[in-house]
């Protein structure tokens, strides 16, 4: 692809000293670089209660386990999210319930969550879609009012803030992703921020329920350990942590470039019949992580998402769709009977949803190509259909 949809902000020259150290010190798996990466993330997110893990999916599994919800309890998740958000609920022996999105912010809201609340609801997994903040104070008050555990799937939201604070400060558990396409990547990886009184349990759950990881046992500590819970194999390795450490110094600079590119898209497309994501009301002191730039082509636009995809493919421009709604998948539909008509805002968004290239090394010139291709489609299709 001439202009890829995503490209990791990863430089070999910057990463090589960390990778060399990870190999030369002999640890390879969870060791001193993982500890340093954990500390760097904790500092960035202004917390002392962070555990690095192998993926955001693993973080969600651990959060649900640590929350200790009763078997079969209902957990509300967005209809518009990656399947992992949904699957982790099922794998925990819980019942997933889908909530519609807010038509402007493309996130769940107190209103959309309230519509799915039942006496069996015990938790919410909210997703700051594309990195867009939610009105976190209202969301936490809603959770507390109904005695619900509030879990954030912050796969898109490393840099996102509400009232100038990282989102995790409003939630019980927050789960982050460092997958290959994320704003900061370790190729595969994640992290979980948890309450202080859950930190040791979460740390143990990330590695088989062991009371002491190998790094602590063999780096001058005791060989003895206990199994304090049934856990997971979810530890991050030093090899992966090395990649993350190499990018940490550029995190804010890369975020600033994402903001700049997003503003250029918004300005260029403002007169087209497409929707873009809106910040929530009261978003003063909030920051969008700008992980994705998504549009939704209006049903009466005169052109379709597929028209744009055809032009992009012809020009070697990458694209994606975020997300195929959960109710669209056959295994989910057959088991639960969810239907698009129950989620009208999500269905309308998805009909025209398209994610445009967005990454720090995307040049203005290449972004202009993306914009011009989209403008050509809009102008050409509208003119053709007017004849």
Q: pLDDT 10s digit of each residue in the chain, 387 long?
A: 999 999 999 999 999 999 999 999 999 999 999 999 999 999 999 999 999 999 999 999 999 999 999 999 999 999 999 999 999 999 999 999 999 999 999 999 999 999 999 999 999 999 999 999 999 999 999 999 999 999 999 999 999 999 999 999 999 999 999 999 999 999 999 999 999 999 999 999 999 999 876 556 555 567 788 998 999 999 999 999 999 999 999 999 999 999 999 999 999 999 999 999 999 999 989 999 999 999 999 999 999 999 999 999 999 999 999 999 999 999 999 999 999 999 999 999 999 999 999 999 999 999 999 999 999 999 986 544 544
Torsion of CA 63, 67, 71, 77, to 10 degrees: -60
Q: How many CB atoms lie within 10 A of CB 59?
A: 33
CA distance 179 to 322: 15
Whether 192 and 63 have beta carbons less than 8 Å apart is answered as yes
Predicted local confidence at residue 211, as pLDDT: 86
Give the pLDDT of residue 217: 56
pLDDT of residue 165: 98
pTM: 0.96
**Torsion sign across C-alpha atoms 246, 248, 250, 256:** positive
Cα–Cα distance between 349 and 305 in angstroms, integer?
A: 11
Strands 165-166 and 161-162: antiparallel
């Amino acid at each position: 692809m001439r202009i890829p949809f995503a490209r990791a902000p990863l430089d070999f020259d910057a990463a090589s000293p960390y990778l060399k150290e990870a190999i030369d010190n002999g640890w390879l798996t969870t060791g001193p670089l993982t500890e340093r990466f954990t500390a760097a993330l904790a500092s960035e997110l202004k917390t002392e209660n962070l555990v690095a893990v192998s993926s955001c999916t693993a973080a969600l599994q651990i959060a649900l386990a640590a929350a200790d919800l009763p078997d079969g309890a209902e957990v509300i998740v967005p209809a518009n999210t990656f399947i992992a958000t949904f699957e982790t609920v099922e794998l925990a022996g819980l019942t997933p319930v889908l909530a519609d999105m807010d038509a402007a912010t493309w996130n769940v809201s107190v209103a959309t969550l309230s519509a799915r609340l039942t006496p069996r609801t015990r938790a919410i997994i909210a997703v700051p879609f594309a990195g867009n903040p939610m009105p976190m104070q209202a969301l936490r008050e809603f959770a507390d009012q109904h005695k619900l555990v509030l879990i954030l799937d912050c796969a898109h939201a490393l840099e996102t803030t509400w009232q100038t604070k990282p989102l995790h400060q409003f939630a019980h558990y927050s789960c982050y992703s460092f997958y290959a396409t994320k704003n900061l990547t370790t190729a595969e990886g994640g992290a979980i921020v948890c309450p202080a009184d859950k930190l040791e349990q979460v740390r143990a759950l990330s590695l088989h329920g062991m009371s002491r990881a190998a790094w602590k046992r063999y780096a001058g500590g005791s060989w003895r350990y206990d199994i304090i819970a049934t856990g997971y194999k979810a530890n991050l390795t030093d090899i992966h942590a090395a990649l993350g450490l190499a990018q940490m110094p550029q995190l804010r600079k890369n975020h600033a470039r994402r903001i700049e590119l997003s503003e250029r898209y918004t300005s260029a497309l403002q007169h087209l019949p497409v929707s873009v994501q809106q910040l929530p009301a009261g978003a003063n002191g909030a920051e969008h992580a700008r992980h994705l730039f998504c549009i939704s082509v209006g049903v009466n636009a005169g052109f379709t998402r597929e028209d744009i995809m055809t032009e992009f493919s012809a020009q070697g421009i990458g694209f994606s769709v975020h997300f195929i709604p959960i109710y669209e998948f056959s295994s989910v539909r057959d088991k639960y009977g969810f239907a698009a008509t129950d989620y009208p805002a999500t269905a309308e968004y998805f009909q025209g949803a398209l994610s445009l290239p967005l990454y720090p090394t995307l040049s203005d010139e290449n972004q202009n190509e993306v914009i011009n291709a989209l403008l050509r489609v809009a102008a050409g299709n509208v003119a053709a259909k007017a004849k």
